[in-house]
């Protein structure tokens, strides 16, 4: 039986892939995007659209992952960092991306441990943004978020199918994901059997 803890453990191993070239920073983006693909059936996202992922090097838009409302306006966005703790500078950087855009929630997630550098300053800035803009900025770790997200699914193993498909799709369409990432993922999936 595959558990949520098993899934989070193999994701953690997969995010730790360090091969020649780039690509490891794309893995957590694909994982969270895969969870969101499953979320689009939830009541909160009824009528909403999950935007297609852009190349990891594309700077257009306001986040790595974007959800649009019924009218095509931003509803929710996520910025995902790999091995970079969330700092007040990072929060200010993402705020610059959406400061002129109405949006209800913006998630700033990282694979770094600890997740936040100087939590008091970051929390103060998050409160300030909420007061000035109205957007709720949520700062957290990628793995704790995924662990929570998987609990919301009737069958967490569905996530594995979505993540595998998104890895393969990204490999075929972009240069971020390498064959080594696919091979390692296949090995990790086999370890669950």
Residue recorded with tokens 């995924």: 146
Tell me whether strands 136-141 and 105-110 are parallel, antiparallel or unpaired: parallel
CA nearest neighbour of 2 among 161, 140, 143, 127: 161
pTM for this model (two decimals): 0.94
pLDDT in tens, 137-187: 999 999 999 999 999 999 999 999 999 999 999 999 988 899 999 999 999
The Cα 27–Cα 70 span in angstroms is 29
Strand ranges in the chain using DSSP code E only, listed in sequence order: 49-50, 65-68, 74-81, 105-110, 136-141
Per the listing, tokens 């959406």 go with 98
DSSP 123: H
Domains of the chain: 4-191 (3.40.1350)
Rounded percentage of the chain residues whose pLDDT exceeds 70: 95
């Amino acid at each position: 039986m595959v558990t949520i803890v098993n899934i989070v453990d193999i994701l953690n191993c997969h995010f730790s892939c360090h091969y020649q070239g780039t690509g490891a920073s794309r893995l957590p983006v694909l994982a969270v995007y895969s969870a969101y693909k499953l979320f689009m059936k939830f009541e909160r996202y009824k009528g909403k659209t999950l935007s297609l992922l852009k190349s990891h090097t594309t700077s257009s838009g306001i986040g790595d992952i974007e959800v649009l409302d019924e009218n095509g306006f931003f509803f929710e966005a996520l910025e995902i960092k790999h091995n970079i703790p969330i700092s007040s500078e990072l929060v200010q950087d993402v705020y610059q991306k959406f400061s002129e855009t109405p949006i209800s929630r913006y998630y700033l997630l990282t694979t770094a441990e600890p997740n936040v550098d100087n939590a008091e300053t970051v929390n103060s800035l998050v409160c300030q943004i909420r007061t000035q803009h109205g957007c709720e900025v949520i700062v957290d770790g990628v793995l704790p978020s995924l662990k929570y997200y998987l609990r919301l699914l009737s069958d967490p193993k569905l996530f594995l199918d979505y993540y595998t498909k998104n890895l393969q799709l990204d490999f075929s369409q972009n240069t971020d994901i390498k064959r080594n990432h696919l091979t390692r993922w296949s090995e990790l999936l086999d370890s669950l059997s």
